[in-house]
């Protein structure tokens, strides 16, 4: 099994920056995609960014150009650098990972990001 542990959430003013981290442990060699989803109050969980073991990140249109997803395979950790944050970025951010053999989906516990003046 895989466990995902998130960190880095908090409060920031509009225009500020935060960096989220997600460390994976367990059957880490089975992981394919990793990344982040977010869920704002009263809204559905939405994709933020995903990255494969090799390659660059893929981003939702709402964050493209402001967020950067990176993956350190040595540390089995993904990072989400969030710049130029907006109030609409306020949400609980959930780390995501999947595997193909067997086909499984894994979620972190969530970390709160609040953007306000």
Under DSSP, is residue 29 helix (H, G, I), strand (E, B) or coil? helix
pLDDT at 9: 98
What CA–CA distance (Å, rounded) separates 63 from 78?
A: 17
pLDDT at 55: 79
pLDDT at 54: 81
What are the CA-CA distances from residue 11 to residues 21, 32, 105, 108, 116 (Å)?
A: 16, 31, 29, 19, 8
Q: Using DSSP bridges, classify how beta strands 111-115 and 103-107 pair: parallel, antiparallel or unpaired.
A: unpaired
User: Of 10-14, 26-30, 34-38, 74-78, which range is least confident?
Assistant: 26-30
Q: Which residue has the higher pLDDT, 34 or 28?
A: 34
In the block, tokens 């951010």 appear at 93
Q: Is the pLDDT of residue 50 over 90?
A: yes
């Amino acid at each position: 099994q895989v466990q995902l542990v998130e960190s880095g959430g908090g409060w920031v003013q509009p225009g500020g920056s935060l960096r989220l981290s997600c460390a994976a442990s367990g059957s880490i060699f089975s992981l394919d995609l990793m990344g982040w989803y977010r869920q704002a109050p009263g809204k559905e969980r939405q994709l933020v960014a995903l990255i494969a073991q090799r390659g660059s990140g893929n981003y939702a249109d709402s964050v493209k150009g402001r967020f950067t997803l990176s993956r350190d395979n040595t540390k089995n950790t993904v990072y989400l650098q969030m710049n130029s944050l907006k109030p609409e970025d306020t949400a609980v951010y959930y780390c995501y990972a999947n595997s193909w053999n067997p086909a499984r989906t894994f979620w972190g516990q969530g970390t709160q990001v609040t953007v306000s003046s």
